[in-house]
A = this chain, B = another copy of it.
């Protein structure tokens, strides 16, 4: 250990950026930057909160606070809103107009041989986001006196969904217990709440659903709403609105009503009163997220009603207060038809029937957050009903917080997918942001990967996904690379020898996970329940068929994959032309989705010239080799990183490296029973016997 300690001390002397580090600061480290004494002569701001937020981080970077000024002088920093006379006097009104409530300008204004750096918005929210943007420019060495930045967010509602239970377990959470300390609220207020709010504000997230979509009715009790009120108060200064997931049976469970039928006037009344109570406590309460008639949860169909009946009833209750209802389309019944088709089948007929404060929340893919899915065909299919994408930041299906998988490329892959809903260029993003369909509400949701762990996300690199989600929710036109670069510079170092290889690692990391877990369109080969590790053989007596991997991979002596062509489940028909034809034809179907749409013979010749089986083997193996490469890359970074984060990531990569081999061996050895073909002999051989892998039963729950 001496060497490591020694070099740490040396580096600490040379570059103060390297210090022992638990990652709690996220991307808001604000390490020292150079020449700060010349940047600003002082600060003018009518918003004390925003000015203080700035000063706090500025002091970390510069070592000193800026003097408050009352009038313009050379190099002064001005932060304000359109309501400030100073901002108007600088002639920014016109430029601010199209930026809406949350947009902002960051401009260098030259007057009388003086430079003013101006951050201006139409509201305190705009100021706030602009101020964080300025901090980012400073921290990443992008600050100059030639700034002319104008930003407004893509989506109006940029939400985190916490799958946090009231007992503080987190469904699919891999970073410790929930940050919401229900047991000590409202009396005790954790400092985590404001830290959390700041982190979200710094990347533009403006709403958070505090509790699990598998919701307990208890969240709507007086007792809990009082706790929610306190959290809301902590988040409010950071422009972060609170939302709640509700249980559709709440009127019956909590209110003692006979049922929760949406057409029952008592039920409607109950919801209206509940909404009133909530808005009395939290005037800016955002609204409700509803998972209904899905995976055993109650819903309107329990009473012979429809999603429309249910959603509209709740929408009516919050409407007077400006609240919205996010109604999840993640529904599927074990009815024998292809699960991938059900959201479309169930919701498409309701287009235009929802209230205007309802938005349909739809997972990116038609099944369930798999490492790779095609986009859900419901995107672009509803012209009169707003749809919002639900992305999963927590890595339920991508190695939990053990595997490094930078997810911006996965989300961009969905958002950039062309639905052809209104001709070419109708990307998923554009079908949801109001630019193709007129929609009053635009929104996006990300299932949070946040917990009580000191580093928030269980893995330092998983912070990049929280960051990337926020940045993409703000502006989906950002590239994965731009976001990765920002994040690395903010979170680690701007040193090029670190930035370049680590950025490359991040950018390819999700594809590596796809390769060693489920390449070529394979999906849902995960272990039962907890979803960690491979179980393509999984067979639980009496289980729903669509909860078993065999439902999805259909391995047999002929081949592998799910026939969703016109000859099969005909899921392709839910896509617009030319996609439906492209997906339907094995020759034109993208090879990275081949086994999603086709049951492909083992000997089928791929574009590489290899048989499907050989390609599968080589792809699994390349995933393993890529993780090994990441280990090499990371180990070389030792001198650029503090010891703690270096060791943490190094250790996680070791797990990932082992797991990649586990995945490869499990899937290839299992499928080999059907392919009856040898694993190509130039590929590294399995180190496990199928029999022993089949005996692995990890003692894990689906919540932490």
Instruction: Please report A residues at the B interface, Cβ cutoff 8 Å.
Output: 1-4, 6, 557, 628, 631-632, 635-636, 638, 651, 653-654, 657-658, 672-673, 675-679, 681-682, 684-689
Contacts and interface: CB of A to CB of B under 8 A. Distances in A.
Contact of A2 (B3, B4, B557, B685): B557
B557 A677 contact: no
A631 B689 contact: no
A700 to B, nearest CB: 18
Contacts of A657: 685, 687
A635 B676 contact: no
A677 B632 contact: no
B689 A654 contact: yes
Nearest to A690: B1
A681 B635 contact: yes
A635 B685 contact: yes
Nearest to A628: B684
Given A635-B679, A654-B689, A2 B673 contact: yes
A560 to B, nearest CB: 15
B557 A681 contact: no
Contact of A631 (B632, B635, B678, B685): B685
A636 B638 CA distance: 40
A681 B636 contact: yes
A3 B673 CA distance: 7
A685 B3 contact: no
Contacts of A4: 676
B628 A676 contact: no
A631 to B, nearest CB: 4
Nearest to A557: B2
A701 to B, nearest CB: 23
Given A635-B685, A636-B681, A638-B678, 15 more contacts: A1-B673, A2-B557, A3-B672, A3-B675, A4-B676, A6-B676, A628-B684, A631-B684, A632-B681, A632-B684, A635-B678, A635-B681, A657-B685, A657-B687, A658-B687
27 contacts: A1-B673, A2-B557, A2-B673, A2-B676, A3-B673, A3-B675, A3-B676, A3-B677, A4-B676, A6-B676, A628-B684, A628-B685, A631-B685, A631-B687, A632-B681, A632-B684, A632-B685, A635-B679, A635-B681, A636-B681, A638-B678, A651-B689, A653-B685, A654-B685, A654-B686, A654-B688, A657-B685
A68 B246 CA distance: 96
Nearest to A655: B687
Contacts of A557: 2
A625 B636 CA distance: 22
Nearest to A631: B685
A682 B632 contact: yes
Contacts of A686: 654
A654 B664 CA distance: 14
Contacts of A654: 685-689
Nearest to A636: B681
A3 to B, nearest CB: 3
A690 to B, nearest CB: 10
Contacts of A3: 672-673, 675-677
A635 B561 CA distance: 27
Contacts of A677: 3
A628 B686 CA distance: 9
Contacts of A631: 684-685, 687
Nearest to A661: B687
A651 B693 CA distance: 13
Contacts of A632: 681-682, 684-685
A684 B657 CA distance: 11
Nearest to A683: B632
A466 B631 CA distance: 42
A631 B675 CA distance: 21
Contacts of A672: 3
A653 to B, nearest CB: 8
A54 to B, nearest CB: 41
A4 B628 CA distance: 32
A675 B4 CA distance: 11
A366 to B, nearest CB: 33
A681 B657 CA distance: 16
A553 B1 CA distance: 18
A677 B2 CA distance: 10
Leading 3 A-B pairs by shortest Cβ distance: A3-B676, A631-B685, A654-B687
Contacts of A682: 632
